[in-house]
Structure 1
Amino acid sequence: MLRVGLTGGIGAGKSTVARRLVERGAVLVDSDVIAREVVAAGSDGLAAIAEAFGPEVVGADGEMDRPAVASIVFGDPAARARLDAIVHPRVRERSDELIAAADRDAIVVQDVPLLVEGGMAAAFPLVVVVGLDAEERVRRLVGARGMAEADARARIGAQADDAQRRAAADVWLDNSGSGADTRRQVDALWDERLVPFEENLRAGRPVRSGPAELVDPDPTWPDQARRLAERVAAAAGERGRGVSHIGSTAVPGLVAKDVIDLQLAVDSLDDADALAGALAAAGFPARPEITADNPKDAEPDPARWGKRYHASADPGRPVHLHLRVHGSPGWTYALRMRDWLRADPGARAEYEALKREAAALFGADPDAARYAAHKEPWFDAADTRARTWASSGAWSAT
């Protein structure tokens, strides 16, 4: 099963996207629909609201008087918090029931209007945001829904802005074109990413990064890494000791394979093993055949170079996730090498030349094993230089 978080600002066209996903086979869990269901006439949710705010919030038909409730909580954060404390847990409980009832191979799309505002993005293996310019959203709200312009602008202003939504989005689905264009985007997302992602998750099959194809530095790599790190940290919970962006994509200006490397620190390899299921459910199944950075040292002293290795099941975003013991040589080495390359332009240029040479020699290989092996002698020698740099300044592994 794959859980997808779907969100977007009011008037962006999220419902249109949700309908198309359902047509393609998704199971939709709509938070707005559930929020109405849990406070319907006769529900314990409505009874709790009446107890909190008075019987006048229940209309003659037995349903909640929404304008009356809105007038109470509008501009009163404490009242709003009381309302949320009644509604939100019931919405989560009902959502969990619907998800549990879905088939094992389902793609479950959770339509959550305030996903970004509620800080919920890290709870989903993939987040899709439907985007549309604010002025066009105003035009559509006024023209299609008959909303007053001032009301439309106020509603939009009360929600997250585009920058905040982009920061949470694994997929930004532009809804500024025609309906046919939007459907094409949704269909491509379904066929090329969601279906294979779900199949990979169900099989416990991580995506292999493939040949050593170098690309120019992508300025969005750090933002992508931050979003992925938050997802890993949420899955790791109390067993995690922090997630860091490492490797070439963590060094500004350096050409790299388009693969995000993350390092999750843990207190022990036993903790790393205990996290395997949670990380797989979050989209990062294990590759158990890789257990050490330096295999010859792994057996006599696994605490030094031993690790656990996971990779993304998402075909749209290759990720290598290294679980290492906090403070171990392998954990320290990854951070020190990253920071040295960031700080030393000469070393960075030297390493880039080596990467290009290795890619020219082995870029046609179906995997990157010989590409990586070609660089190892340089790393062995460079480690001494990085250690000298680290010891001569105020560097510390963080």
Structure 2
Amino acid sequence: MKIVGLTGGIGSGKTTVAKMFASHKNIAIYIADVEAKKLMNSSKKIKDKLIANFGEEAYVNNTLNRPFIADIVFKNKEKLTLLNSIVHPEVRMHFQNFIKINDKKKYILYENAILFESNSYLLCDIIITVIANLNTRINRVISRDKTTKKEVLDRMKNQWHDHKKMLQSNYVIVNENLDETQFQVQRIHNILTVNS
């Protein structure tokens, strides 16, 4: 059973690529960001630590106050590191359980925006990095998150540069044209399942 890490900078289109992989029913997909958001709302351990470190405002009506937390962590690297140190160990345990449940699949696709930054790449047998032109990425995030160019660039500063990720990846998907992206996804899936 292979663990295939899928990563890429903000706006590269990881989610789009993950959805393309999802068309194959013989694999399981774990989206770390989605599961982290769920755990931040359901795990008492995470809640208690976030309130202790970020204050009562971290939660509103028992739900994570995302804008409040984002405003703090994307402007302060130490606070982002602190947030990750609280959330990632819980996500990692959750993922280990997911692996056990899906051990009959051809492979598990583990989508994580900060695969390298959080050392989660150590869990992976194969790594795929999704890249796109910087302006494409900025425009995607602005239209998706209704945010500003400055805010997007601030978030990018907290992620590794593409070339650094690419050097440590087995495959790179260039996500500019959806048909070409689909072709690349299919080719990689075929390679990953040919001998398993």
Determine if the TM-score, normalized by the shorter chain, exceeds 0.5: yes
**Mapped partners of 2:155, 2:58: distance in 1:** 23
Deviation at 1:72, TM superposition (A): 3.9
Q: Which structure has the bigger radius of gyration?
A: 1
Alignment of 1:236-315 (within 5 A): none
**Mapped partners of 2:70, 2:152: distance in 1:** 16
- Corresponding residue number in structure 2 for 1:252: none
**Mapped partners of 2:151, 2:55: distance in 1:** 27
Amino acid at match of 1:165: K
- Corresponding residue number in structure 2 for 1:185: 184
**Mapped partners of 1:127, 1:108: distance in 2:** 12
**Mapped partners of 2:50, 2:155: distance in 1:** 23
Amino acid at match of 2:35: I
Alignment of 1:1-398 (within 5 A): 1-25=1-25, 26-41=27-42, 43-59=44-60, 61-177=61-177, 179-191=178-190, 193-197=191-195, 199=196
**Against the structure 1 CA distance between its residues 105 and 70, is the aligned structure 2 distance closer, same or farther, given a 3 Å change threshold?**
closer
Q: How high is the sequence identity, in percent, across the aligned residues?
A: 25
Cα displacement string for residues 97-153 of structure 1 (whole angstroms, at most 9, x for unaligned residues): 111100324310000101122344343111011111112211222344433222222
Deviation at 1:86, TM superposition (A): 1.5
The answer to whether the Cα contact below 8 Å between 2:28 and 2:105 also exists between their aligned partners in 1 is no
**Mapped partners of 2:10, 2:79: distance in 1:** 23
SS of the residue corresponding to residue 176 of structure 1 reads coil
**Mapped partners of 2:82, 2:143: distance in 1:** 34
**Mapped partners of 1:144, 1:67: distance in 2:** 15
**Mapped partners of 2:57, 2:147: distance in 1:** 26
**Against the structure 1 CA distance between its residues 127 and 188, is the aligned structure 2 distance closer, same or farther, given a 3 Å change threshold?**
same
Amino acid at match of 2:102: A
**Mapped partners of 1:78, 1:140: distance in 2:** 27
SS of the residue corresponding to residue 24 of structure 1 reads coil
- Corresponding residue number in structure 2 for 1:278: none
The answer to whether the Cα contact below 8 Å between 1:7 and 1:111 also exists between their aligned partners in 2 is yes
The answer to whether the Cα contact below 8 Å between 2:77 and 2:158 also exists between their aligned partners in 1 is no
**Against the structure 1 CA distance between its residues 171 and 110, is the aligned structure 2 distance closer, same or farther, given a 3 Å change threshold?**
same
**Mapped partners of 1:77, 1:156: distance in 2:** 12
SS of the residue corresponding to residue 103 of structure 1 reads coil
The answer to whether the Cα contact below 8 Å between 2:8 and 2:113 also exists between their aligned partners in 1 is yes
The answer to whether the Cα contact below 8 Å between 2:11 and 2:138 also exists between their aligned partners in 1 is yes
The answer to whether the Cα contact below 8 Å between 1:116 and 1:168 also exists between their aligned partners in 2 is no
**Against the structure 1 CA distance between its residues 108 and 77, is the aligned structure 2 distance closer, same or farther, given a 3 Å change threshold?**
same
**Mapped partners of 1:74, 1:133: distance in 2:** 22
**Mapped partners of 2:193, 2:69: distance in 1:** 41
**Mapped partners of 2:184, 2:171: distance in 1:** 11
Q: What TM-score does the superposition give when structure 1 sets the normalisation length?
A: 0.46
The answer to whether the Cα contact below 8 Å between 1:134 and 1:156 also exists between their aligned partners in 2 is no
**Against the structure 1 CA distance between its residues 97 and 160, is the aligned structure 2 distance closer, same or farther, given a 3 Å change threshold?**
same
**Mapped partners of 1:161, 1:54: distance in 2:** 32
What is the number of equivalent residue pairs in this alignment? Answer: 195
Deviation at 1:70, TM superposition (A): 3.0
**Against the structure 1 CA distance between its residues 133 and 104, is the aligned structure 2 distance closer, same or farther, given a 3 Å change threshold?**
same
The answer to whether the Cα contact below 8 Å between 2:30 and 2:109 also exists between their aligned partners in 1 is yes
**Against the structure 1 CA distance between its residues 80 and 159, is the aligned structure 2 distance closer, same or farther, given a 3 Å change threshold?**
closer
**Against the structure 1 CA distance between its residues 73 and 15, is the aligned structure 2 distance closer, same or farther, given a 3 Å change threshold?**
closer
**Against the structure 1 CA distance between its residues 144 and 42, is the aligned structure 2 distance closer, same or farther, given a 3 Å change threshold?**
closer
Deviation at 1:187, TM superposition (A): 1.1
**Mapped partners of 1:141, 1:85: distance in 2:** 25
**Mapped partners of 2:187, 2:80: distance in 1:** 40
Amino acid at match of 1:53: F
The answer to whether the Cα contact below 8 Å between 1:42 and 1:62 also exists between their aligned partners in 2 is no
**Against the structure 1 CA distance between its residues 87 and 108, is the aligned structure 2 distance closer, same or farther, given a 3 Å change threshold?**
same
- Corresponding residue number in structure 2 for 1:307: none
**Mapped partners of 2:159, 2:141: distance in 1:** 15
SS of the residue corresponding to residue 23 of structure 1 reads coil
